[in-house]
Structure 1
Amino acid sequence: MNYYVIYDGNCNLCVTLVRSLETLDKGNLFRYVPMQDEQTLLGWGITAQDCEQGVILIDGNLPQRRWQGSNAAEEIGRLLPAGSTFVDAYRALPGMKWAGDRFYEQIRDNRYTIFGKRSSTYESAYCVDGSCKQTKAK
């Protein structure tokens, strides 16, 4: 099973998190598409306006099954080995989901100010169709 992670390829924080996922997963479960790849996103019916709400996770087997923002981050965490234990504990703590959602929104809306913006879009070596634009993303 594959999941597609739609991330901001110009955001330093987003790219750091994608690189961490790449190291953990090695393309076994996740494939990555920067939000700047409008052609690929249009194939899923995703617009630039949709991307403004944050990271998107798409189930590769059921593309209509999607998560966005903090829900996508939680689902990515849940899918990692032993991740469901931590996500379930987080969700079980009273008020944590609400606080986590607000925290995510603040980071999302201020990511360039807080973490900076890249001069070029990061494209993962683990792309959707295997025909990555780069052999090794930098």
Structure 2
Amino acid sequence: MGSRRKQAEEERREKLIVLYDGTCNLCLASVRRLKELQSTAILRFIPVQSLEDTYETIPELSAVTEDQLLTKMHVVEMDGTVHAGAAGVVRILRTVRGWRWLAPLYRVPGLRGVADLLYRIIAGRRYEWFGRSDESCHEGVCALPKRD
């Protein structure tokens, strides 16, 4: 009976898909940290570079190019709502215990613009400031070179 209750709770939990740059050291560190935090939602993290390799279909992003996806993090809700950049970060924070209090600040006049600007500046310089991981490595797993 306990496992059925747990399964029912899991089915009711909100599900969010988080698309991020899998070669960005800042992005990788942020995803690692988010995985450690307690979220009320089920967060599924997918590197943009691996999107084609997953079985995930996200119709809301079908018209968005990979280059556009790489400019900022995208958070997709199960109802199709897409949050990008700072709005995506805020959407995730709304589900994380101990950090929820930050989310309403995004609605304060003027703070949204500041948050969006800071996000764009950091995202635009993320490789320069934080470096880039090997493109053949995602989530700690590296692809082996193909043999001839």
For the aligned pair, the TM-score class normalised by the smaller chain equals: 0.7 to 0.9
Runs of 5+ unmatched residues, structure 1? 125-132
Structure 2: distance between partners of 1:106 and 1:42? 30
- 1:31 match: 44
Larger Rg, first or second structure (1 or 2):
2
Tell me how large the CA RMSD over aligned residues is. Answer: 2.6
Q: SS at the partner of 1:79?
A: coil
Structure 1: distance between partners of 2:112 and 2:41? 28
Structure 1: distance between partners of 2:86 and 2:107? 12
Structure 2: distance between partners of 1:26 and 1:85? 14
Distance change in 2, residues 1:26/1:67 (3 Å): closer
| Counterpart selection for 1:58 from 49, 56, 76 | 76
- 1:76 match: 92
Structure 1: distance between partners of 2:139 and 2:40? 13
Deviation readout 1:98-117 (Å, 9 max, x if unpaired): 11111100111111001000
- 1:14 match: 27
Kindly provide the amino acid, as one letter, of the partner of residue 118 in structure 1: S
Q: Compute the TM-score of the two structures, normalised by the length of structure 1.
A: 0.76
Runs of 5+ unmatched residues, structure 2? 1-13, 143-148
Structure 1: distance between partners of 2:113 and 2:41? 31
Structure 1 residue 114 corresponds to structure 2 residue 129: yes
Structure 2: distance between partners of 1:47 and 1:41? 18
Identity of aligned residues (%): 27
Instruction: Provide the aligned length of Structure 1 versus Structure 2.
Output: 123
- 2:65 match: 47
Kindly provide the amino acid, as one letter, of the partner of residue 68 in structure 1: A
Q: Structure 1 residue 95: deviation in Å? A: 2.0
Q: Structure 1 residue 82: deviation in Å? A: 4.4
Q: Structure 1 residue 2: deviation in Å? A: 1.3
Q: SS at the partner of 2:121?
A: helix
Deviation readout 1:63-103 (Å, 9 max, x if unpaired): x21111111011111121243322213532x4221111111
